[in-house]
Every structure is written in structure tokens, then in C-alpha cells.
A and B are shown apart, each in its own frame.
Chain A
């Protein structure tokens, strides 16, 4: 590694071969949270890190935001080496953790002004910026209320505003919409879309929702086992998946193996796999294909309890690139 590795000006975040492991607890082997993570985010874009819990997203964000140190590898944020000059990195970044970063016993306004002052803004500048952001995030009427009285969506917007106080050149958003109801999530998406353009900054977004990355990110990297297994534009990744998922639940008396072989024999259903009574496949136009699939199964004498069509999801991308599904853990996350 050269001592003056200077990333190109077009790159806001560069991670090269980052590795990090934690003690696994008594008698257990070490947990390798990151195992050679490499990616690059261009200046001014929203970059999505996708993956299930435990894939290494949060560890990556912690290292890039100077909260944690990598065991090996190197990383630059806004052109600054995170291991060598963490203080400089801290002045250049905004950080929105998975958990709320606001003090519930302070008002929204007080939270923002404190963040601004700690970032080195003078009093009047911090106050003006706080009012501007409260207004932008439609929190103006709640400015003097304690944050503990805010709804989940309001508190999350304030978190983002705190990260924006000092106009950072890179903003880290760690699962900004996890735990929000659909309306608050849509609201947050709009805010993120608007601000990336307005603030002219790079946003590193971690999420386990493909639709979120799809909507917001120009580029995404999918993490598994602490490394990138696929990267590109959301469109490109979905194109690779070629079409919709068909998910069938066979009846209690039916033979799932027969269902799978029937589906595979149709020719237009690909990647057929079976997990208990669930049979999955992939087809170009799900809505057109489903009636034919059901008719074929009926003819083969396989009872179907339920049939679902799904647009390509993170689960599908993940399944394709890792060969296994994390739907169980994803289901828990959605339920949480």
C-alpha cells in the first residue's frame, strides 16, 4: 500500500480489501464480519449497500465513519484515509446510525444546534441552519417539542437532519427506513431523493430492501459474508434476474417434487427450486405465465394451496448470487 494513495477526485468512498473480525464469544471461533470488502462510490451519487443482517453492512459503515477500525485493508472517505486522519473524516461526514441519534430529552431544535456547534459552526450559523432543516423536513411546527414526543417517522427525519447540519460531503444512512410504517418510508424516500441533489453530496445507504435501493441508489453492492457478491445499477442487477418469481405452496397431500418437475418441464419457468412445500421458479412475464402454470399442475394432479407472484427482490438477487435464501431472516426483519 503506497503511503500517499490518492483516490481519484470522482470517488467519494473507496474501500479496498477491508477485513474485520470480532471475538465469537466463549469457545466459539471469531466472527468474520468483513472478509475483503472492496467497493467504490462516485462523488455525488447515492450508493446502496445491500444485504441481510450479518452481511457486514453496519461493520462497513462503522469503519468508514471512523467508529471502528479495520483489522486490515484501507479506506478513504472524501479523499481522506479513515485510519490515518479520522478527525478530518469526522468533519467531512454526517452519520445517521440504525438507532436514533437524537437525544429524546432535547427538542428537535436543540438537537440540531448542538450537532452544528460540535461540528464547529458558529452560534448564529448553527441556528439558521437548524431552522432551515426543520423547515425542509416539515418539522417546523415540532421544533420546540421534546424528541421523545415525536413519531417514529419524525424522529428519523430529525436524525437525517442532524447528519446534514454541517453540509457534509458524505452522508452515511444506516437503514434509514427500518421500523417505519409504509407511509413514513415513502416520505423518507422523497426526502433522501431531494436532499442528495440539493446538498450535492454522496450518500452511502445501507438497506435490506431492494425496492429502497432500487428507488434511491444509482449503484448498489450486495454483501454476503463480509464481501461484495454482486454490484452494479439496480436495473442491471434485476435484468440479470430475468423476470418475476413464481412461488407456489403445494397442498398438504400433494407431492412438492412432482410440482417442481412439472414446473421445470414447462420450459418457460427457470431456476426451479424446492424448500419443503414451497416451490419457486422464475419466468419472464409472471402474470401471463401463472394461469398456464396452475393449469399444468392441475392436469398433473398436484394440488396448490397458494400461488404468489413477486417482482425480483433482494432475496432473489441474493439467492442467485449466493446460492441460498435468507428469506427466514428477512421475514424476521420485516416483522420487527
Chain B
């Protein structure tokens, strides 16, 4: 860049079209979140330890479930591994709004909102950041599950779909968490999501229990549960011969919900500014 163009940077009113700005801003803001994460090694370790605890604890506690007549899978570890992956994605995403709360407590959010930073990028960057955490956790939990006996008959394709389902689930619930953060502006509201929403969603699903052994109402309700869509897609894709129609159906539902939730959550910025 020449001296001349440097000088001409002053008073920028350059017309940047929306799409490149959205992508560029998303990249800058996601990089900021990742830097902050990398600089808190304790947080990183917590994120890696938690999945192991869950895997080993649930695996041992419910081991004999697989012996119940009518249980779908021969091995409980096989059965629950996709469930644990999605539980981590769900429970992690419930706290995604934390970075907004921190930014609001400081003046960072106000500074970003008075700059040309795209609102879509503010939303997308936190969703992407949370997805990176989900990918890291999943990448740690899968080999450990393998060591404790889990078999991934679906191969690499199946694992790729499992990651995709976990990422889509993360997008849905981190957008929700962000929206709650923008509307309530308090960390305690996020506890509400994780307690009042995540746990019921987890239990009305096949994450740790085959719903064919549950009461009919649980099975019926689970069909409308986005968390169950992700569990079913991940588990389905890991089968030796997956029912691809069903897997892609669930992924499609999740993807549609990502668009809806992302849009609604971005609209929550308007509510935040109205009451600012």
C-alpha cells in the first residue's frame, strides 16, 4: 500500500457492500473470541475435562441398560456416545451468551454497536466460536469413547455427520442464549436456560435412554425436540447402514432452525438498543 492510499484512509465513508463486510467482521470478531479463549487455559482444560467425566460417569452408571430387552443397541457405550456429544454441545451452548454479558458489563458492546460492525457478524461470531468449542470437545470425547469400547460403524462419513449435527445444534442454542443475554442482560438468565430448558430437552430425548422403552408421550414429544433431531442424526449416521433419509431430514430441520434462531437473535439487538 502506497503512502497516498494510507493518507486517503482518513474520514472513511467507503461503500462496503453488506456481504463481504459481514464475512470480514465475522472473521475479526471470531478471532477475538478465540484469542480470549486461548488465553484462559483453565477454561480450555475445563472444557476438555467435562466431556471425559460425562462419558465415564454415564457410561458406568447406565451400563446395564443395554441388557434390558428391547434396547436398540447391543452396547450402551455405542448408544450413548452420540448422546453425550450432543449433551456437551447443548449445555455448552446454553452459556454462549456469557461473552455478550461480559461485553455489556464492560463498554465493549456499546462500542461495537456504535461502530459499523455488522449485527449479523456479532451474532455469527459468537455462534462460530461456540461451534469451535463443540468441535474440540467432540474431538476429545470420541477417541475416549473408542477406548472404552464404542464402535463407529458409520466410519469417517458417519463421524463427519455427527460433527455436523453437533455444530448445527450448537448454532441453534448459542443463538438462543445470545438472544436471552441481549434481552435479560444478566448472567443469571443464562442459568435459567441451562436449568429450565436444557435438562428437560435432554430427558425428553434418546440421548441416554432408548425412547422405545420410554412412555409414549416422551417418544411423541421427542419428535418436536431439536436436541433429539441432533441425537438421532448423529446416532443414525454412525450405524453400519444408516437411514440417510431420516438423517438428512433431521439435519434439514436443524439447519432451518439455525436460520430462524439466528435471525430472531440478531433482531434482539434492536430490542437491546431500544431499551439502551
Which residues of A approach B to under 8 Å, CB–CB? 22, 62, 65-69, 87-88, 90-93, 95-106, 110, 114-115, 117-122, 124-125, 128-129, 146, 159, 162-163, 166-167, 169, 172
Contacts and interface: CB of A to CB of B under 8 A. Distances in A.
Interface string B34-53: 01100110000000000000
B116 A146 contact: no
Nearest to A116: B9
A167 B8 CA distance: 11
B114 interface: yes
B269 to A, nearest CB: 11
Q: Which of B10, B24, B25 counts the most chain A CB atoms within 10 A?
A: B10
A95 B275 contact: no
A87 B118 CA distance: 10
Contact of A68 (B9, B29, B276): B276
B107 A101 contact: yes
B103 to A, nearest CB: 8
Interface stretch (B11-19, B207-215, B245-253): B11-19
A121 B9 contact: yes
A69 B14 CA distance: 25
Nearest to B121: A118
A117 B39 CA distance: 22
Contacts of A110: 32, 35
B40 A105 contact: yes
Given A95-B114, A167-B11, 20 more contacts: A22-B275, A67-B110, A67-B276, A91-B12, A95-B110, A96-B107, A101-B106, A101-B108, A103-B103, A105-B40, A117-B24, A118-B115, A118-B116, A118-B117, A120-B21, A125-B1, A128-B6, A146-B39, A167-B12, A172-B114
The 9 A-B residue pairs with the shortest CB-CB distance, nearest first, are A97-B107, A101-B111, A99-B107, A105-B36, A95-B114, A101-B107, A68-B276, A118-B117, A65-B114
Contacts, number: 112
A68 B106 contact: no
Interface in B102-132: 103, 105-108, 110-117
A188 B245 CA distance: 65
A114 B11 CA distance: 17
Nearest to B27: A117
Nearest to A162: B111
Contact of A98 (B5, B6, B107, B112): B107
A97 B13 contact: no
B35 A106 contact: yes
Contacts of B5: 125
Contacts of A22: 275
A115 B28 CA distance: 10
Contacts of B13: 88, 91-92
Interface of B: 1, 5-6, 9-14, 16, 21, 24-25, 28-29, 32, 35-36, 39-40, 103, 105-108, 110-117, 273-276
A79 B72 CA distance: 69
A97 B36 contact: no
Given A118-B25, A118-B112, A167-B11, A104 B106 contact: yes
Nearest to B270: A69
Contacts of B113: 66-67
Contacts of A65: 114
A124 B1 contact: yes
Contacts of B111: 95-97, 101, 115, 162-163
A119 B12 contact: yes
A68 B272 CA distance: 9
A166 B117 contact: no
B106 A99 contact: yes
Given A68-B273, A69-B273, A101 B110 contact: yes
11 contacts: A66-B113, A68-B274, A69-B274, A92-B13, A101-B108, A105-B40, A106-B36, A117-B24, A118-B29, A122-B1, A163-B111
B6 A100 contact: no
B276 A125 contact: no
B35 A118 contact: no
A90 B276 contact: no
A114 B24 CA distance: 11
A68 B269 CA distance: 11
Contact of A125 (B6, B28, B29): B6
Nearest to B38: A105
Contacts of A172: 114
A122 B114 contact: no
B114 A67 contact: yes
